[in-house]
Amino acid sequence: MRRPDLSAPPSTGSIDLARLGVALAGSALRHPFSFNAEAVCRQWARQAAARRNTDNLTVNLLIKKLVLVGSAELSRQLLAQPPSHAGFSTGSLKRSGMAFLAAHALTISDDADWSRRRAFNEAVLEPGRRHVLAPQFLRHTLQAFAPPIAGVDDLRAAMGRAMLGVVFGGAAPPQLVAEIEALFALVQHPVKRVLTAPFAYFKRARLYDSLRALWQAQNKELKPSLLQMANRCVISLDDSELVEQIPHWMFTFTGSATDLVTRTLTLITSAPSVQQQVMAELAAAGPLEGQDFESAPLPFLEACLVETGHLYPPVTRTFHRTALGVTLNGVQFAPGTEIMHLFPLFTADLAGADAPRFDPDRWLAATPPVGAFDPFLGGARRCPGRSLILVVCKTALASLLLQHRLAVKAPGITASSLPAQFPRRGLRFESA
């Protein structure tokens, strides 16, 4: 039995940090070309927590303490709290990185600012229902995926083209895809951001010049797009706030959505019975260019995406901070505490005896399972673009399976076996 989540989570010591250092060095030496620091840290966290008979752990980094959340229940409780400076705000690392790109981004907002920007994003992205512009978004995605797809790079490029259509109505310059990817790489790598500061801020200024020009043009032409939806919204945001919501809409396509489509295609084509069920659903929906397909909900294909997200989350962590200190259901967080959710800690050990299989049907059951976590986050912080990006991902998969007749082979992934982590190398795209 794990100890109940009461008081402050137990803390690691110098011996634990030494073990982590040895594990990282040993893994790097044994697997120099496939070294995965996150996998090593995850295993170390599991072992350190097990030694203390707990789920949640305070990692003592000497200069700072980090609460590592390994309890799915505590994670849900944290995510349910609206972002607040007096409660659970955005973690310092995430805030500093995202503020470089968009100081008014929803993901780093608190209190009244968060409520206002959340309302705006929900009005534009329409969470929880099929988007009013879904047919147009579907056509943009099919057009983006028309060229040959020979690998992950081609798939990512196709998702970039789909983004230009969905966000801007197809009127944006293609170089915006490379610009947003480069800027998000700087968001995620603080050292690189510091080393390239003058150039980084020049690239940022150039992106916003382009976004402002596209917003002004959209105000005149009103092409079906997320910018058109933003133009219709009556929620009051000033121009700087509004433009700074756009980069996150953009990067989702070539970031987490590309990973989700690639992994789902791999799992579908590795399981013949699942692939047959997917193909039957697509055949029943009619031709890709037809109106019947545009309105088809494709529930089983969506279940494949949801199942993949639970097995191999495209976003593996998120961060909070308690600036003033707070207690949540008996768990104490001191002032200035940094909190990290490492979502793979909640999933089953796929290498264990009870390793799950790829089973999308469970999400279509009369009573769907309660997942250990939500790959689209949950509670107050639930992704407002979930429904929209699932439409794009389903359309991309339909094109890859029907038009391109593609299958993806990945090391260690078969109908009866799944590795603990999705392979980062060795993917082969093959024509059926």
CATH number of the structural domain spanning residue 330? 1.10.630.10
Residue 28 belongs to a domain: no
* Mean pLDDT on 139-159: 96
d(CA 11, CA 92): 20
- 272-284 and 258-270 helices cross at what angle (nearest 10)? 110
pTM for the whole structure: 0.89
Residue 191 belongs to a domain: yes
Number of domains in the chain: 1
Strand partners, 429: 408
Average pLDDT, the chain: 87
- Residue 143: partners with Cβ closer than 8 Å, 6 or more residues away: 161, 165
Reported as a pLDDT band with limits 50, 70 and 90, residue 351 is very low
Residue 55 belongs to a domain: no
Residue 208 belongs to a domain: yes
**pLDDT tens digits, one per residue of 212-225:** 999 888 767 778 99
* Mean pLDDT on 299-309: 95
* Mean pLDDT on 304-311: 92
Residue 40 belongs to a domain: no
Residue 22 belongs to a domain: no
Q: Are 156 and 163 in contact (CB under 8 A)?
A: no
Residue 4 main-chain phi, psi, to 5 deg: -65, 155
* Mean pLDDT on 157-180: 94
Region of residue 230 (phi > 0: left; psi between -120 and 50: alpha; otherwise: beta):
alpha
**pLDDT tens digits, one per residue of 14-54:** 888 888 889 888 888 888 777 777 778 878 888 888 888 88
Quote the domain boundaries for residue 158: 64-431
Residue 34 belongs to a domain: no
Residue 19 belongs to a domain: no
